[in-house]
Amino acid sequence: MSTEKSKMTPIVKLLDDSSNNLYVKREDFIPYSFGGNKARKAYYFFEEIDNGGYDYVMTYGSSHSNHCRVIANMAAARGIPCLIIGPTEVSETTYNSILMEVFGAKIITVPVEEVHDTIEKELQRLRSEGYNPYFIQGGGHGNLGTRAYVDCYDEIIRFEQQENLHFDYIFFASGTGTTHAGLVCGQLLAGDDRNIVGISIGRKNPRGRDVVLDSIRDYLSEEKRDFSEEEIQEKTVFLDDYISDGYGKSDEAVTEIIKKQMILNGMPLDSTYTGKAFYGMKEYIKAKGLQNKNILFIHTGGTPLFFDDLNMIGGK
């Protein structure tokens, strides 16, 4: 697995109508289950599962969840049963949920307020039946997920060295905040300077940013690395200006950008994560009047969601 983990994803330049040099790191090209940030994180969780003698995987997420699809895929590949707890509120059929079924995952949906207790209850049940279950937080949240994006940050630095280039800005979709935390930790550990801007796809400030900050502090304390609170605060930029009506909700402007990027750059985006973040990035660049900057967008994956959205951009 370690060789898989260290694979670099491509960084390519996009056609763009601003004076900036806009690049994208295609995490959707991670060579497993349509890739994406959930695949990058999942390698780390399954390394622990493989080495720890676990025989059951359990996680949490909605029927739209890229994370649950990847976890169900990796579990099925090993012949390990997989149990997914999902909120009834977001349980309609999607390409991701169909794939979870194809992988043979068992899915239990409960009202969102019962999720926590259901997870506890199911873990106890599995242990009482003699299993050694491994629980992965929704979205692959936690220090292992953070580590995956510290490593991604190192890949970005290596690319810059090879190409003799410096990115002034990095933008991406920030959800559970693990991707965001990993990038900021990567920057703190590398001691370099640039703007890392997380575009929230659902959570508002201050909570959304607080979750990112907690993940950063958790990771750094596990690594026994000490940074001042001031430094951590300064590096953590979490914009909640582009969330529309919340998680999974988007505006016409996002749909337009999804269509435009597919046509112009052959790049699929989706309305829940990458399309929203790309839209937020473009608006931010305009609002701040950024010019002649090197800008990196991290495409965090979610390709099946692009197909769920296809009718929104004029597909049948």
Ligand X SMILES: *Cc1c(COP(=O)(O)O)cnc(C)c1O
143-163 vs 178-190: helix crossing angle, rounded to 10: 50
Q: What is residue 8's DSSP assignment?
A: P
Contact between 146 and ligand X by CB under 6 A: the answer reads no
**Nearest distance from C-beta of residue 148 to ligand X, angstroms:** 9
User: d(Cα 91, Cα 69) in Å, to the nearest integer?
Assistant: 14
User: d(Cα 103, Cα 77) in Å, to the nearest integer?
Assistant: 9
Q: Which is nearer to ligand X, 30 or 173 (CB)?
A: 173
Q: Which is nearer to ligand X, 63 or 176 (CB)?
A: 176
Q: Which is nearer to ligand X, 26 or 38 (CB)?
A: 38
- Identify residues 189-228 at the interface with ligand X (CB under 6 A): none
Please compute, for residue 306, the number of CA atoms within 13 A of its CA located in the half-sphere on the CB side. Answer: 19
For residue 138, give both structure tokens. 């929704």
User: What are the residues facing 288 on neighbouring strands?
Assistant: none
Is cis: bond before 304, omega within 30 of 0? no
Using the rule CB under 6 A, which residue among 37, 215, 236, 271 binds ligand X? 37
207-222 vs 178-190: helix crossing angle, rounded to 10: 50
Q: Which is nearer to ligand X, 219 or 273 (CB)?
A: 273
Please compute, for residue 82, the number of CA atoms within 13 A of its CA located in the half-sphere on the CB side. Answer: 28
**DSSP-derived pairing of the beta strands 169-174 and 294-299:** parallel
Contact between 86 and ligand X by CB under 6 A: the answer reads no
Span near ligand X by CB under 6 A; candidates 16-24, 30-38, 118-126, 161-169: 30-38
Pseudo-torsion of CA 283, 179, 112, 109, nearest 10°? 110
Contact between 173 and ligand X by CB under 6 A: the answer reads yes
Span near ligand X by CB under 6 A; candidates 1-9, 34-42, 217-225, 247-255: 34-42
**Nearest distance from C-beta of residue 264 to ligand X, angstroms:** 20
**Nearest distance from C-beta of residue 71 to ligand X, angstroms:** 12
Q: Which is nearer to ligand X, 126 or 277 (CB)?
A: 277
**Nearest distance from C-beta of residue 260 to ligand X, angstroms:** 18
CB 82 within 8 A of CB 103: yes
User: d(Cα 227, Cα 220) in Å, to the nearest integer?
Assistant: 8
- Identify residues 255-294 at the interface with ligand X (CB under 6 A): 273-274
Using the rule CB under 6 A, which residue among 87, 139, 275, 280 binds ligand X? 139
Span near ligand X by CB under 6 A; candidates 42-50, 184-192, 245-253, 295-303: 295-303
Using the rule CB under 6 A, which residue among 9, 33, 62, 66 binds ligand X? 66
Nearest by Cα to 134 from 39, 43, 222, 46: 46
User: d(Cα 65, Cα 71) in Å, to the nearest integer?
Assistant: 10
User: d(Cα 9, Cα 195) in Å, to the nearest integer?
Assistant: 21
Span near ligand X by CB under 6 A; candidates 3-11, 128-136, 175-183, 287-295: 175-183
Contact between 174 and ligand X by CB under 6 A: the answer reads yes
Span near ligand X by CB under 6 A; candidates 3-11, 120-128, 233-241, 297-305: 297-305
Q: Which is nearer to ligand X, 105 or 126 (CB)?
A: 105
**Nearest distance from C-beta of residue 37 to ligand X, angstroms:** 5
Alpha carbon separation from 167 to 20, 36, 220, 296 (Å, rounded): 11, 21, 24, 6
Binding site for ligand X (CB under 6 A): 36-38, 66-67, 139, 173-180, 273-274, 300-302
